[in-house]
Amino acid sequence: MHKDLFFWLITFLCTIDYTNSVYLVPILPDFLLRKGVSLSIIGVILSLYQLTNMIACLYLGKYLVYYSKLSIILLGQFLLIFTNILMGFLNYLENIDLILIFASFLRLAQGISLAMVTSTIYSYVPILYPEDLDNKYAFMEMCSGLGLALGPVIAGFLYEYTGYTLSFILISIVYLLTIIGVFPFIVKSGFSEVSRKVEAKKYLEITRIFKNKDFILTLLVFLMSLMSYCVIQPGFSDHIHFYKGTDETVGLIFGLGDLCYALTGFLMMSIIIRLKIRHKYLFIFGGTLSLISLLFIGPEKWTYLPESLITVSIGMAILGCSQMFYVPIIISEFMDILKDIFGEVEGFEEMSSGLFMASVSGTQLIGGILGGVLSDFLGFDRGMTVYAMFLAGYLIIYGISKKSKEILDEKLNEMLMENTSENSKEKTKEKTKEKTKENEVLLENVELGDY
């Protein structure tokens, strides 16, 4: 079986599983709000998934080379099914404290299960396509965006027409059918175990990575931009209901952003990546679109934007498009930084994938909590504006820092070239002097011999 077919199979698997990361957005917040839970608590519960997901991704990034990748994916799939079934039965608990405890525990378990699936799948790409990373990741993100777009839409309709419990049971059946249908072909492909075993002493030190200034600068611009997608989540359902929207409307509008994200993938693959635009410019452009989108999703009166579902929908569309300008290229950016730190050693693929997935989880962890707090204390519209201004400030800092680094690198290169040139000239002079002396000695010997 050709490796491209294997790549499409694991991409399809990742697409299906990505629906779970946003499947709860139209369901769980509304369910907990009806139980009298505040938005801040809801934000914390939603974010617990990202806490274990981030830790699990970092662990897998460092130690995945010791395990069977296919076994890790399969175990993650079954854990995902189990947690979704249990999540559906929260509706039968009467005590609100028990509901919050079990919901928190299940979100923690879901974080581990999705890390086992997505982080492992993403680590295949640099191994299979080392010369075509950005293009392949753009394709994966395009498909994942479709999964993210379908997740809230499916969840909204199932929640409306089947109820809380049955909606989780049905999505669990979909995951089970995915395993039955896809895994036999993945096993037959022969590409399921392509990682190289490395010795423990060759592990990449995570602490050394996080001490690198270039990595921190790049990581923060990625986190800050992607967090725009996360801060809206705790209060988004209530915000749509304020505009007289239904549960289906919440799913449709939220899914619109992911759909635009997927569609922008075609633009990335066909034009932008081929133009070889420098990554820093794509990061700044994507971040700028993110902060603009938040002003539309609010919106506040001073923006003079119509306060309607159409304006919110436009904002979600812009937000979806913005992510494609920095998400697909971040792994290759991480790999370049790791090579600068460690040189040429094995393990970049797994570590870069782990760092990427952990970063995504980090944004959702912080963004969910921050979004709940901003919505509770400032209101949804004002909270989104405040975060947009905060993002604008960091984009300016990022641009100035990268420009300063480039100027410094250019000066260092010029000084190195000048020193190299001067050393070369001095060596040439010395060689010329030595050659002249040799010629003089040779000439004297010749004259003495004639005499």
Q: Can you list the pairs that 156-164 forms with residues at least 24 positions away whose Cβ atoms lie under 8 Å?
A: 156/26, 156/247, 156/248, 156/249, 156/250, 156/251, 156/252, 157/248, 157/251, 159/26, 159/27, 159/30, 159/247, 160/246, 160/247, 160/248, 163/91, 164/27, 164/31, 164/88, 164/90, 164/91
Task: Using alpha carbons, select from 42, 413, 391 the residue that is nearest to residue 223.
Answer: 391
Tokens of 248: 């289906």
At residue 343, the pLDDT reads: 73
* pTM for the full predicted model: 0.73
Sequence-distant (≥ 6) Cβ neighbours of residue 11 within 8 angstroms: 121, 139, 140, 143
Assess contact for 19 and 171: CB atoms under 8 A. Answer: yes
The Cα-based distances of 358 to 222, 292, 434 in angstroms read: 12, 26, 61
Over the stretch 88-101, which tens digit does the pLDDT of each residue have?
A: 888 888 888 898 99
Task: Using alpha carbons, select from 401, 404, 405 the residue that is nearest to residue 220.
Answer: 401
Place of tokens 């189990």: 82
Around Cβ 405, how many Cβ atoms within 10 Å?
14
Which residue stretches of the chain have pLDDT < 70?
A: 1, 25, 190-204, 247, 344-347, 409, 413-414, 416-451
Q: What is the 3-state secondary structure (H, E, C) of 6-31?
A: HHHHHHHHHHHHHHHHHHCCCCHHHH
At residue 278, the pLDDT reads: 84
The Cα-based distances of 268 to 118, 271, 321, 356, 408 in angstroms read: 22, 6, 10, 19, 31
At residue 392, the pLDDT reads: 92
At residue 446, the pLDDT reads: 46
Q: What is the 3-state secondary structure (H, E, C) of the chain?
A: CCHHHHHHHHHHHHHHHHHHHHHCCCCHHHHHHHCCCCHHHHHHHHHHHHHHHHHHHHHHHHHHHHCCHHHHHHHHHHHHHHHHHHHHHHHHCCCHHHHHHHHHHHHHHHHHHHHHHHHHHHCHHHHHCCCCHHHHHHHHHHHHHHHHHHHHHHHHHHHHHHCHHHHHHHHHHHHHHHHHHHHHHHHHHCCCCCCCCCCHHHCCCHHHHCCCHHHHHHHHHHHHHHHHHHHCHHHHHHHHHHCCCCHHHHHHHHHHHHHHHHHHHHHHHHHHHHHCCCHHHHHHHHHHHHHHHHHHHCCCHHHCCCCCHHHHHHHHHHHHHHHCCCCCCHHHHHHHHHHHHHCCCCCHHHHHHHHHHHHHHHHHHHHHHHHHHHHHHHCHHHHHHHHHHHHHHHHHHHHHHHHHHHHHHHHHHHHHHHHHHHHHHHHHHHHHHHHHHHHHHHHHHHHHHHC
Q: Is 68 left (phi over 0), alpha (psi -120 to 50) or beta?
A: beta
Assess contact for 223 and 362: CB atoms under 8 A. Answer: yes
Domains (range + CATH), the chain: 3-196+208-410 (1.20.1250.20)
Over the stretch 157-188, which tens digit does the pLDDT of each residue have?
A: 888 888 888 888 888 888 888 888 888 888 77
At residue 408, the pLDDT reads: 73
